Amino acid sequence: MSDRSRGRGQTKNNPLSDGSDSDRQRGTMAFQYMLMYQNSREEEIEVTDQEGRLLNRTITVIDPEIKQEVQDMLEKEFTKKNITSHMTWISECLMHRDMMTVFVMESNNSARDIDVAILKALLKANKHLDMVQLKLALAWNRIDVARSELFTEDKKWDARRLENVMLIALQENRVDFVKLFLEHGVHLRDFLTIKRLLHLYNTIPTNNLLYTLLEKEKRDESCDYFSLLDVADVILELMGDFFKPFYHRDEILCNIVTEKYMTDHPDNSDPFITTNTGPNGSHTLIRPKTSKSTHRDKEATYQFPEPVRELFIFSILLLRREMAILLWEEGKEPIAGALMAQKLLQGMKQKTEDTELQEKISSLEEYFSKTAVGLLNECYLAEETRAQMLLVRELTNWGESTVLQMAVQADNKYFISHSCCQTLLNNIWMGRLSLDNGIFRILFCVVLPPFLFLLIKYRTEEKLKMHENRIKGEKQKRMDSYNADVQQYGDTDPNNVELNSIHSEEELGLPNDKGYVAFGEPDKKQDSDNVYDFDFRRGGRKLSWWQKIAFFFNAPLVTFIYNCISYIAFLSLFSFILLTNFYPSISNAEIVLIIWVFTLFVEEIRQVVGDESSNWALKWANYIHDPWNVVDVITITLFIIGITLRFINNADCFEWARIVLALDLMLFFFRILHIFSVQKHLGPKLVMIGRMMIDLISFVVILAVFIMAYGLASQAILYPNAKLEPQLIQDVLRKAYWQMYGELFLEEIEGQIDCSSDSMFYSNGTLPRCVANNWVVPILLGFYIMVTNILLFNLLIAMFSYTFNKIQEKTDEYWKFQTYFIVREYYNRPPIIPPLILIAHVYLFVRYIARNCCNACQVAGTGFKMKFEGFEEKQLVLWENMLSDDYIRQQKSQEMESVPNQVKETKKQLDDLTSQIEGAAETGSDPALGTGIKISTELEQRLNYMEKQMEVTFSALEWLVKMTAEKNGISPPKLENLKEKKLQVEEQKHQRSLEEKEKMQKLFVEQIKLNVKSRTNPYPTKDGSVISRCNVPDDKVPWTVSFDEYKPTEFTAPEVLEEPYWADPNLLAYQPQKRPRLNFNNYDTVYRISRKSYIREYKITEDLFPRNPIGRTGMIGRGRLGRWGPNHSADPVVTRWAKNDQGQHLLNEDGKPILEFASIQRQDSGAYALPGGMLDPGQPVHKALQAEFREEALGSLVEGQSAQRTAIENKLARLFGKGVEVYRGYVDDSRNTDNAWLETLAVNYHDEDGTIIDHFKLRAGDTVQTASWQQCSSSVELHASHIQILQKVTEIHQAAF
């Protein structure tokens, strides 16, 4: 017997997508759907499953009147030729009522809720596929639906299952979903693999700024993908050379092959892990076998140390604000993260010229800038010392930089001007000296160093004294407690008390034999006597005399003072030489000056070499970035030129040397302005001068245009045809420039008395040349003076005023920001002053050689960068994260309590409430569907009562009118009789019912003629793959109609191509002349099947293929059908009379008896249908009819050797002995093609007296879901053409339908 499941397929239609329909027709079609949906109902029926258990299932029942109304509308809107297709589509869709959602667009809240309605409809269609539902909610970005429908308290999600959708959420920037997945257990360390991170960077939009940056920094142009090294190069380009990207420092990430990871591996995210599929479909992971750990194994098990950081950087580079903020809140070391984000955004803003994009970047940059300052303030208020540790701690996770360094590179003046940063800078500026030392005390000791032993205080000794006072206080407190105990309990030995209650001196932090105090020192390494090192964490200690000297002279403040004194001495010497002692013969003072400048030159070289950049080009670029370094380069260069000219034995060269050195001295004097940066009032003024210089340059460009214009015009008018020589250029510019300042040259312009127009005299300088015109140029001069002196100079003043006011408002920030560079410079500068600084340079050079060759003289840290390790680092990070969480909570609380947010929330609540009220008013009971008010039973009873009362009132009113008319002798008016009207309505209803039956019969015939279901898209494949037919309009179905554009899709299912016993050979695989000849239109003795059609003899094409006798279907091949040509099936229609509990026949409203038929529920589509199936080779039709009913409707009842089985078989023999043929012919089925189609023989087996199958309990077979008895009715929706077959059965028995 054939397997019924091989012939099943689900039909999916979309009648609204018909390209021939107009917008009005689509609207009408949608209205018809809604109308039938509203007026259809679901009824429960009892069914039997494969194990014989009774189950309740729902079926869709449609009101016949509404069905007729919809049919009339279809005829009016689509003409009669399309009525069959559309009516069939609507009926089939209503078979899956549970998968339908109707939404009224005219409702007030439709614009807002339509997406929710569509999404919920899709979720309803996939109610058993939770991952599909989650992906739908993710695609629609409806976090509210996901939280309410999917992530409920009674449903637990496996974190591993959420990883793939987590990746999609990150790609699509679904912030709320990422937060939701993190809340439900997604662990980023397990989630973020190398492949996933590469996938994220390689799926960014091509129009994104990051994509452009990656293309520029791409290392391997032949590779189609971006590598992590490309990402690192972009980060390095945006951050600067001070930052060392993690991907550059990690050995594994530096050596990965990107192509291996970007190859699709569906089973796992590891390209080095393969899978082995077992016989039961299970998958086993296979890792490469090796005896020792290899680089590939390390890649396979690699986990990012800080996955949140990687995703945070990814979000920043893609300018995703909400995602970046979420990941920043989830990460560690928030201050460093915020500053890195600010620096990255600054770099990206410089890489684009899009104004709108720059504004977006600036907004996000401002957020992270303010957040970093806010977090620093939170930490500083909590604990000052730890906050300073945060500023200088070396951040391994953030490019081995520091918070302070990133803030400076990001130009975050508010951050640097914060009290925490300024306190740190003050501590570094003072070195080991106490902050209580006044400037005059330090200056006095600078002049007279021996007094430092008496006047200077040191921070370490102050800490020691404070700690001793604390210990004394502890001792006194304990002694007071002892005395109180003595008074209360009597005499006690005080020595014992002290031994038990007082710790050792070392435990309490008193100085030990080495002079150190134990408290506040996290590491023994910090007790070194390196005077170049500064650590504000150091505890108290006793200082020796030489340590006091070293600490005093190594303080950056003292170094600064001595350098100022040295520089003043240098300028005095230089001035003395140029003014009084600059002769051709060199003097001792000049030799000292040359050596002095040489030491300054070496110091500049030290600054370049000491830069932290990785290569010389970047070192030089960073050096030139400081304007004062540019001044240093110019001054030293001019000095070298001047000295070189000075040693050339030539009087002119010597004179030029004097001029060059004089100019050089002027620049050296300008250099002294740098010293003023330390002063709070003068420092900002230097910033103003620098900004105003920029304004002046732009102003000079404009001014030069007017100078050139006026100078050329006036020269050409006054002295035409002048000789081309350098003096001409000077004459053009000289007058025009100086006239701006009031030197008008009026005598020369208006004409001199002693002058000549003869070129012989004025060319040799005997007499000045006379002007050619003396009245035009004065007029031009008037306009020129007015424009330059009044307009342009006032413009320059306005520009300067704007710059001044702009900086004046932030004077404190600018000065504090400049302080950092001064402190940094003199912290790194050797304490020995020029020209003796050369000794320090020799020492530093030797130390540099030792470090690079012998790894000696390594310094653990400096005042601007300290390395923390172990427990101390963990405690510091944990402390920062805790304060960060508190700060974030405070900010969110303030935002929630803000007036704008409260107004917004109130408005949202009012809108929701209004929409619910409006929805209830519009829809009555279901606001989501908008399907109209449903009348309850109680309301229906009240309406019936009112109708009866109106009839009584009408009768009384009619009597009153009649009596009044007779009394007045006039004829009474004729009133409409309500009873007659009601009878007329009922009669019309009955007539329409008869017409509906007639039309349904026509509809059945019309449906077959048009191959309606045989043209449905997509084709119902077994594996769910989408195969689309060629579109065939209704009027192009017949073969007699020409259709030149017809290009049918070729498809034969894989299970058919395997050629099982029920399938023919694949003729398409053969050449036309070699194809096997099948005996079409006859009985095929080779395959033992009949290839005759029930309809008529079908045609054979030129390629020897049978042609569908009805018409085109849009597909060639066999699809899922096994036979070429007709595929014969058998459909037994087993019926009985419906009876009540008393055994009486049930009648409908018209008094006709009601039939019940045996139905089954298909496994593929869930639709109800008649039992039936394909004929096997050599199987007679009547045997197939009986076998199909046994297999599908009786199931296991007819198996075994029990007495029950024997009784059932005997009854079935009686039943099948009196069958009546109902239908023989073509079946309009969704599996049909141009070359293969279904034909069936339907036979009715009826138990008239109920003695055979009245007490049968149907049981579902293996190939169906359920089996049940159902009443024959036109409102029942059945598969394919089964409803028409059922109608013929009711006509035979004159039963209700």
Stretch 755-761: mean pLDDT, rounded? 73
**Strand 1125-1137 to strand 1236-1247: parallel, antiparallel, or no bridges (unpaired)?**
parallel
pLDDT at 588 over 70: yes
DSSP codes of every residue in 497-515: HHHHHS--TTTTT---TTS
pLDDT at 666 over 90: yes
Report the range out of 268-277, 739-748, 759-768, 1082-1091 with the highest average pLDDT: 1082-1091
Q: What is the DSSP letter of 1050?
A: E
Q: What is the pLDDT of residues 1099-1111, one digit of tens each?
A: 998 888 999 999 9
State residue 318's pLDDT score: 93
143-172 exposure pattern, b = at least 16 Cβ within 10 A, e = fewer: bebbeebbbeeeeebeeeebbebbbebbee
CA distance 1073 to 963: 98
State residue 806's pLDDT score: 82
CA distance 71 to 76: 9
Confidence of residue 181 (pLDDT cuts 50, 70, 90): very high
- Asked if residue 1269 lies in contact with residue 1156, where contact means CB atoms within 8 angstroms, the answer is yes
Tell me which of 14-23, 149-158, 978-987, 1013-1022 is least confident: 14-23
CA distance 1276 to 97: 12
Structure tokens at 100: 């339908």
- Helix axes of 228-239 and 334-350: crossing angle, nearest 10 degrees: 90
State residue 336's pLDDT score: 92
Q: Report the predicted TM-score, pTM, of the whole model to 2 decimal places.
A: 0.62
Other beta carbons within 10 angstroms of residue 644's beta carbon come to 12
pLDDT at 436 over 80: yes
Stretch 753-772: mean pLDDT, rounded? 74
State residue 769's pLDDT score: 78
Structure tokens at 1132: 């037994």
- Asked if residue 509 lies in contact with residue 519, where contact means CB atoms within 8 angstroms, the answer is yes
State residue 99's pLDDT score: 64
Confidence of residue 14 (pLDDT cuts 50, 70, 90): very low
Strand partners, 1227: 1238
Tell me which of 188-192, 615-619, 713-717, 1072-1076 is least confident: 615-619
- Asked if residue 1125 lies in contact with residue 1106, where contact means CB atoms within 8 angstroms, the answer is yes
pLDDT at 657 over 50: yes
Q: What is the pLDDT of residues 603-629, one digit of tens each?
A: 999 888 887 777 787 788 888 888 888
Confidence of residue 492 (pLDDT cuts 50, 70, 90): very low
pLDDT at 995 over 70: no
State residue 484's pLDDT score: 64
- Asked if residue 394 lies in contact with residue 244, where contact means CB atoms within 8 angstroms, the answer is no
State residue 570's pLDDT score: 94
Strand partners, 1242: 1131, 1223
Strand partners, 1157: 1135, 1270
Stretch 154-166: mean pLDDT, rounded? 86
Strand partners, 1159: 1268
Stretch 318-340: mean pLDDT, rounded? 92
State residue 663's pLDDT score: 94
State residue 107's pLDDT score: 54
CA distance 309 to 344: 14
Residue scoring higher pLDDT (1141 or 89): 1141
- Asked if residue 1108 lies in contact with residue 1234, where contact means CB atoms within 8 angstroms, the answer is yes
Q: What is the DSSP letter of 87?
A: H
Q: What is the DSSP letter of 792?
A: I
1267 SS3 class = strand
Q: What is the pLDDT of residues 462-489, one digit of tens each?
A: 666 665 566 666 666 666 665 665 555 5
Residue scoring higher pLDDT (32 or 323): 323
State residue 403's pLDDT score: 92
Residue scoring higher pLDDT (69 or 669): 669
- Asked if residue 1268 lies in contact with residue 1256, where contact means CB atoms within 8 angstroms, the answer is no
Residue scoring higher pLDDT (1277 or 585): 585
Q: Is 31 left (phi over 0), alpha (psi -120 to 50) or beta?
A: alpha
CA distance 422 to 404: 11
Structure tokens at 98: 């549970």
State residue 365's pLDDT score: 93
DSSP codes of every residue in 88-100: HHHHHHHTTGGG-
Q: How far apart are the first and last CA of the chain?
A: 33
Structure tokens at 715: 């020269």
Stretch 756-775: mean pLDDT, rounded? 74
Residue scoring higher pLDDT (768 or 1132): 1132
- Asked if residue 84 lies in contact with residue 76, where contact means CB atoms within 8 angstroms, the answer is no
1134 SS3 class = strand
Single out the residue of 561, 523, 492, 490 nearest to residue 389, CA to CA. 523
State residue 1254's pLDDT score: 67
- Asked if residue 1113 lies in contact with residue 1048, where contact means CB atoms within 8 angstroms, the answer is yes
DSSP codes of every residue in 702-759: HHHHHHHHHHHHHHHHHSTT---SHHHHHHHHHHHHHHTTT---HHHHH--SS-B--H
Tell me which of 696-710, 980-994, 1137-1151 is least confident: 980-994
pLDDT at 335 over 90: yes
State residue 1121's pLDDT score: 93
Stretch 432-436: mean pLDDT, rounded? 85
CA distance 884 to 876: 12
Residue scoring higher pLDDT (760 or 593): 593
Strand partners, 1136: 1156, 1247
CA distance 748 to 752: 6
CA distance 518 to 1137: 103
Q: Is 722 left (phi over 0), alpha (psi -120 to 50) or beta?
A: beta
For the chain, the residue count is 1297
Residue scoring higher pLDDT (524 or 851): 851
pLDDT at 744 over 70: yes
Residue scoring higher pLDDT (792 or 498): 792
pLDDT at 1157 over 80: yes
Stretch 842-858: mean pLDDT, rounded? 73
State residue 1258's pLDDT score: 77
Structure tokens at 771: 């002007």
Q: What is the DSSP letter of 1228?
A: -
Stretch 1137-1160: mean pLDDT, rounded? 84
Structure tokens at 990: 């009955």
Mean pLDDT computed over every residue of the chain: 78
CA distance 55 to 48: 6
Structure tokens at 85: 């297709």
CA distance 1028 to 1049: 7
Single out the residue of 71, 53, 50 nearest to residue 62, CA to CA. 71
pLDDT at 1049 over 70: yes
CA distance 190 to 1202: 60
- The alpha-carbon radius of gyration of the chain (Å, integer) is 49
E-strand stretches of 215-287: 274-277, 283-286
- Asked if residue 1095 lies in contact with residue 1237, where contact means CB atoms within 8 angstroms, the answer is no
984 SS3 class = helix
**Strand 1173-1174 to strand 274-277: parallel, antiparallel, or no bridges (unpaired)?**
unpaired
State residue 1194's pLDDT score: 67
| Measured CA angle at 21 (ends 17, 22), to 5 deg | 115
pLDDT at 758 over 80: no
CA distance 992 to 1165: 32
Confidence of residue 220 (pLDDT cuts 50, 70, 90): confident
Single out the residue of 1223, 413, 370 nearest to residue 811, CA to CA. 413
pLDDT at 745 over 70: yes
DSSP codes of every residue in 615-675: SHHHHHHHHHHSHHHHHHHHHHHHHHHHHHHHTSS-HHHHHHHHHHHHHHHHHHHHHGGGG
Q: What is the pLDDT of residues 97-122, one digit of tens each?
A: 666 666 666 555 555 567 777 777 77
Cis preceding-peptide flag for 834 (omega within 30 of 0): no
pLDDT at 76 over 60: yes
